[in-house]
């Protein structure tokens, strides 16, 4: 069985302020670095050793992965396919600012359609992260692999595993920074979600 640990990056100042980040390369804040260290301690004691560590190339994920990698004696592999969705005109804005500046897109978002002006489509994001997932499973059969990624990317992959529509925003929360979600894949069976947004190391 192949086990994929999907982990959201640590907190940034934009997370704390409720700003949409997308591809904006915001670093971890001090809280995020502490969260990453607690995550690293937890994974170092994990009963099933992590064989490989991947991350998005955006620095909030890459820095989280670097802290985790130091504890696991693993060199993180940066993979742009695990980036957050590019959110176009939403980048840098809060929900209130989006509602004021882009009322039509905000109304669509409230209906479950994420369509930021100039942004990446839900279908494109779905194809990107499911392709990355399929490559991981093929390359690391039978292993435990950790991926440090982003909320939107992780939610999209989980929605795929749960067979939810690819063109709708899934009603799934992975708001907890450094939360762990786990997908398992048996050889001839579809993948299954066995854990969602576990932040026990922060409690």
For residue 72, the Cα-to-chain-centroid distance in whole angstroms is 20
H/E element holding 20?
Answer: none
Token pair for 199: 């932040």
Residues 6+ away with beta carbon under 8 Å from 102: 89, 90, 116, 117
Catalytically active residues are 9, 84
**Please, what's the b/e burial string for 60-75 (b: 16 or more CB within 10 A of its CB; e: otherwise)?**
bbbbbbbbbbebbebe
Question: How far is residue 2's CA from residue 186's CA, in Å, rounded to a whole number?
Answer: 7
């Amino acid at each position: 069985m192949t086990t994929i640990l999907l982990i959201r990056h640590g907190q940034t100042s934009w997370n704390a302020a409720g700003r949409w980040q997308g591809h904006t390369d915001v670093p971890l804040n001090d809280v995020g670095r502490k969260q990453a260290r607690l995550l690293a301690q937890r994974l170092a004691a994990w009963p099933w050793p992590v064989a490989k560590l991947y991350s998005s190339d955006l620095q909030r994920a890459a820095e989280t992965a670097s802290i985790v990698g130091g504890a696991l004696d693993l060199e993180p592999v940066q993979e742009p396919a695990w980036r957050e969705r590019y959110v176009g005109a939403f980048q840098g804005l809060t929900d209130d600012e989006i509602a004021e500046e882009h009322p039509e897109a905000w109304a669509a978002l409230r209906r479950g359609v994420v369509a930021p002006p100039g942004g990446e489509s839900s279908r494109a994001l779905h194809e990107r992260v499911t392709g990355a997932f399929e490559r991981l499973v093929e390359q690391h059969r039978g292993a435990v692999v950790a991926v440090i990624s982003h909320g939107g990317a992780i939610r999209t992959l989980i929605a795929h595993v749960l067979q939810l529509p690819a063109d709708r925003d899934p009603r799934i929360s992975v708001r907890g920074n450094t939360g762990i979600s786990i997908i398992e894949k048996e050889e001839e069976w579809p993948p299954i979600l066995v854990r969602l947004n576990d932040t026990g190391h922060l409690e």
